[in-house]
């Protein structure tokens, strides 16, 4: 079995009691660092100095007594007769217990201060801010594009929830295509191996296909999706999945490189990101087993990336391929790629426009000298980051329902919890008290897994191959219909419901998928009922 970590908290407050840190590293930890060097292929100096780079393999934020308590509470349950302690509060003390409706993903963490609540509201305003093209009389809002996919963060992250593929007359605002080609030279392969780049964009269309443009400029074209039927046999019936085929048309800047791959992505939910950010890297790395040494068929591996600012190696944990190490970096990349707005972290005033798109680069930008050298200066980035860090996870529902408990047992027995790991305890030394030492239930190991050819996109992103994806957290998944009005799942929304999402699992998820398909209908329904309670 893969290693897990665990913890507890005080029943009267829902928080974990404070205790001093214990920084000295044990001989076991040093051996673990050496293992990291060998298994992950990191330079030895980076591994040995792992803690400042976010690659520590030992939790130095906990004293031994607390570490033992953590390991005990995070241990996977074997009792499915009743809910586990604190299971309802899946976002720790910050869990939102407000009424379940369309705004269920848009509430602030319940444990932030009154002053922080004001900061959260300002961040919400920046998240919803509609950017306009330059020049404009609204000088604090111009700089859009010149090529872009959306005018605001909220346009993609609808109600802070899950995006969807264009269906019927709906647009493609919450879904886009990543563009990349395979490394073609020794130098390019070395750059990826050294993690200087994640991959190489299309020479003309860049790293993201952008269908919108400011006045006077052409968009890059249109995404086209067609579907084929993919038959599946269940224990008691046959069904069919829809297999999407992607292409582009109406190209505005000439042909695309023939080696460029198209990777469709729907926007993921925003809830709980600040808690994910404060999971100690040791707890994620502890579950990595890239060579499947325990023989369980699960070969999760971490995504190791470079921090934009420091250049240090660190753990990627955000995005469909775990390519971003922090919420701020993920936000800065989205500002540049999705909206075409420069930030201090990614100072690209022209967004994703390439040198081959000369007309785009010649368009005016929105930099205001009095505000600094970027279109979205540090105050905006700070607010958007804080907002994204403090979107609360909704409380669980129906946790003591017999069908939900039966479904939870099926979830474990099918092996789903091997990758969708239920519990973590966040760092005691988290910079914000709201995320500090919280028992959380994200149902993810935040590692990369080979999900098979059918889900593969053929596109390498750093350490992730074309078939590898980060395990997406499941918390809040049962409220997708309530918040976003649809039930499209997986990275490209091909699954039309939770059952189809499971049936698309291949590769390392194949055994669990087959076990699900072989279940009697009532047990499959129970497992889905459990997922809907998250």
Average pLDDT over residues 480-495: 97
Q: Which of 88, 24, 87 is nearest to 60 (CA)?
A: 24
Both structure tokens of 100: 């379940």
Q: What is the pTM for the complete model shown?
A: 0.90
What pLDDT score was predicted for residue 182? 87
What pLDDT score was predicted for residue 69? 95
What percent of the chain stands above pLDDT 90? 84
Tell me the C-alpha distance between 459 and 111, whole Å.
40
The long-range contacts involving 164-172, CB below 8 angstroms and separated by at least 24 positions, are: 164/266, 164/484, 164/486, 164/488, 164/493, 165/225, 165/244, 165/264, 165/266, 165/488, 165/492, 165/493, 165/494, 166/223, 166/225, 167/486, 167/488, 172/211, 172/223
Q: Is the pLDDT of residue 419 over 70?
A: yes
What pLDDT score was predicted for residue 99? 96
Which pLDDT tens digit goes with each residue over 395-409? 999 999 999 999 999
- Band of residue 169 on the pLDDT scale cut at 50, 70, 90: low
What percent of the chain stands above pLDDT 70? 90
Helix axes 521-532, 402-413, angle to 10 degrees: 100
- Band of residue 139 on the pLDDT scale cut at 50, 70, 90: confident
Q: Where are the alpha helices (DSSP H) in 346-400?
A: 358-361, 378-389
Which pLDDT tens digit goes with each residue over 148-165? 999 999 999 999 999 999
What pLDDT score was predicted for residue 16? 41
Average pLDDT over residues 452-471: 96
Which pLDDT tens digit goes with each residue over 101-135? 999 999 999 999 999 999 999 999 999 999 999 99
Q: Is the pLDDT of residue 347 over 90?
A: yes
Q: Which residues of 379-415 are buried (b: 16+ CB within 10 A; e: fewer)?
A: ebbebbbbbbbbbbbbbbebbebebbbbbbbbbbebb
Backbone angles phi, psi at 388, to 5 degrees: -65, -30
Average pLDDT over residues 310-331: 96
| C-beta separation of 14 from 92 below 8 A | yes
Average pLDDT over residues 12-17: 37
Which residue did the predictor score with more confidence, 468 or 53? 468
**133-137, 326-330, 344-348: least confident range:** 133-137
Going by C-beta distance under 8 Å and a sequence separation of 6 or more, which residues neighbour residue 11? none
Both structure tokens of 203: 């020479």
Coil, strand or helix at 330: helix
103 C-beta neighbours (distance < 10 Å), count: 14
Q: Is the pLDDT of residue 37 over 70?
A: no
Which pLDDT tens digit goes with each residue over 355-390? 999 999 999 999 988 888 999 999 999 999 999 999
Going by C-beta distance under 8 Å and a sequence separation of 6 or more, which residues neighbour residue 162? 266, 267, 268, 269, 480, 483, 484, 486, 488, 489
| C-beta separation of 91 from 392 below 8 A | yes
Tell me the C-alpha distance between 303 and 245, whole Å.
27
Q: Is the pLDDT of residue 94 over 70?
A: yes
Would you list the domain boundaries of the chain? 114-269+304-389
| C-beta separation of 122 from 381 below 8 A | no
Q: Is the pLDDT of residue 7 over 70?
A: no
Average pLDDT over residues 88-98: 98
What pLDDT score was predicted for residue 45? 28
Q: Is the pLDDT of residue 484 over 50?
A: yes
């Amino acid at each position: 079995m893969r290693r897990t970590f665990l913890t507890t908290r005080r029943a009267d407050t829902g928080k974990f009691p404070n205790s001093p840190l214990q920084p000295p590293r044990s001989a076991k930890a040093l051996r673990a660092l050496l293992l990291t060097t060998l298994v992950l292929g990191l330079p030895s100096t980076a591994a040995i100095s792992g803690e400042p780079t976010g690659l520590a393999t030992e939790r130095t934020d906990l004293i031994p007594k607390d570490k033992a308590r953590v390991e005990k509470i995070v241990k996977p349950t074997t009792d499915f007769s009743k809910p586990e302690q604190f299971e309802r509060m899946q976002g720790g003390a910050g869990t939102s217990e407000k009424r379940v409706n369309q705004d269920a993903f848009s509430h602030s963490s319940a444990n932030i201060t009154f002053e922080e609540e004001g900061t959260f509201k300002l961040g919400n305003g920046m998240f919803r801010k509609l950017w306009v093209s330059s020049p404009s009389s609204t000088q604090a809002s111009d700089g859009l594009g010149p090529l872009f996919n959306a005018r605001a963060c909220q346009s993609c992250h609808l109600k802070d929830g899950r995006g969807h593929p264009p269906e019927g007359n709906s647009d493609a605002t919450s879904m886009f295509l990543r563009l990349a080609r395979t490394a073609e030279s020794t130098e390019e392969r070395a750059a990826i191996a050294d993690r200087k780049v994640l991959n190489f964009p299309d020479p003309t269309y860049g790293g993201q296909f952008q269908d919108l443009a400011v006045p006077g400029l052409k968009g890059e074209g249109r995404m086209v999706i067609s579907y084929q039927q993919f038959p599946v046999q269940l224990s008691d019936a046959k069904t069919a999945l829809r297999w999407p085929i992607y292409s582009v048309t109406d190209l505005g800047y000439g042909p695309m490189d023939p080696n460029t791959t198209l990777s469709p992505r729907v926007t993921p939910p925003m809830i709980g990101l600040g808690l994910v950010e404060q999971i100690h890297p040791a707890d994620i790395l502890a579950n990595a087993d890239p060579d499947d040494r325990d023989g369980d068929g699960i070969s999760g591996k971490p995504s190791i990336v470079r921090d934009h600012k420091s250049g240090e190696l660190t753990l990627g944990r955000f995005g469909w391929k775990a390519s971003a190490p922090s919420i701020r970096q993920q936000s800065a990349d989205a500002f540049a790629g999705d909206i075409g707005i420069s930030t201090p972290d990614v100072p690209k005033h022209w967004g994703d426009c390439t040198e081959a798109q000369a007309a785009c680069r010649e368009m005016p930008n929105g930099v205001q000298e009095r505000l600094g050298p970027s279109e979205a200066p540090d105050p905006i980035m700070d607010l958007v980051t804080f907002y994204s860090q403090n979107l609360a996870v909704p409380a669980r529902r129906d946790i003591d329902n017999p069908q939900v408990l039966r479904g939870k047992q099926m979830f474990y027995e099918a092996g789903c919890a091997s990758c969708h790991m239920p519990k973590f305890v966040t760092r005691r030394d988290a910079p914000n008290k709201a995320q500090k030492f919280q028992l959380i239930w994200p149902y993810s190991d935040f590692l990369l897994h080979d999900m098979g050819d059918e889900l593969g996109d053929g596109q390498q992103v750093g350490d992730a191959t074309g078939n590898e994806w980060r395990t997406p957290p499941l918390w809040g998944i049962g409220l997708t219909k309530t918040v976003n009005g649809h039930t499209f799942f997986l990275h490209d929304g091909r699954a039309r419901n939770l059952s189809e999402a499971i049936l698309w699992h291949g590769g390392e998820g194949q055994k669990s998928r087959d076990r699900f398909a072989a279940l009697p209908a009532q047990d499959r329904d129970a497992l889905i009922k459990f997922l809907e309670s998250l």
